[in-house]
Chain A
């Protein structure tokens, strides 16, 4: 099983600042990674349908990068609606696995 490790577990950021989230795979997953956003009491929402490809309707302040084992999600200027938990998911191997999540909270 590929283990996805996200860091940090919690990120405290002021509105308008940049947030950088990391996701590491225990073995190479090529570019077979996506990101989701989840707000309290809501279902997850697809954010990035590839390491660097925003899903439909996702604003340009969200950018992603990486391949192999190291991936990054950056939110360039945090808005109030961006405070949430972010999960990465690999689909290179079965079983599909998610990272443990990074909670982005207001500083």
Chain B
């Protein structure tokens, strides 16, 4: 059974930083691209970033490019999201998600974690 467990969220002041982690199990982690998707309170889903299975390729939403960095450690079955220069509008539940197909250009997600809440407030 695929399991994705996010951690690292919390309350942070504007301009602050956090590193989110997502520990994966139940599948061959190094074969799959991974992504982060966020959801502001009461709002819809917003894709944030994605990383290829090897970690060599990343893409970002315009709203976070330059402030957020996605990375992975295949030896630890973990994907990370370093978030810097936080703004109030970054307040959201951050989900990690596993790509549905191991090696493909089909960037959709068949498994999601339960999310970790990031609150940006002074």
Contacts from A to B (Cβ < 8 Å)? 1, 32, 34, 36, 38, 42-46, 49, 55-56, 87, 89, 91, 94-101
Contacts and interface: CB of A to CB of B under 8 A. Distances in A.
B59 A43 contact: no
Given A44-B95, A95-B47, A101-B44, A32 B106 contact: yes
A45 B112 contact: yes
A72 B58 CA distance: 31
Nearest to B114: A43
A62 to B, nearest CB: 15
Given A43-B114, A98-B47, A99-B44, A91 B106 contact: yes
Given A43-B95, A89-B108, A98 B46 contact: yes
Contacts of B44: 87, 98-101
Contact of B45 (A1, A32, A87): A87
B87 interface: no
Contacts of A34: 108
Instruction: Tell me the dominant secondary structure on chain B's binding face.
Output: strand
Nearest to A46: B110
Instruction: Tell me the dominant secondary structure on chain A's binding face.
Output: loop
A95 B46 CA distance: 10
Given A98-B47, A100-B44, A91 B107 contact: yes
B77 to A, nearest CB: 19
B59 A94 contact: yes
Contacts of A87: 44-45
B14 interface: no
Contacts of B59: 94-95
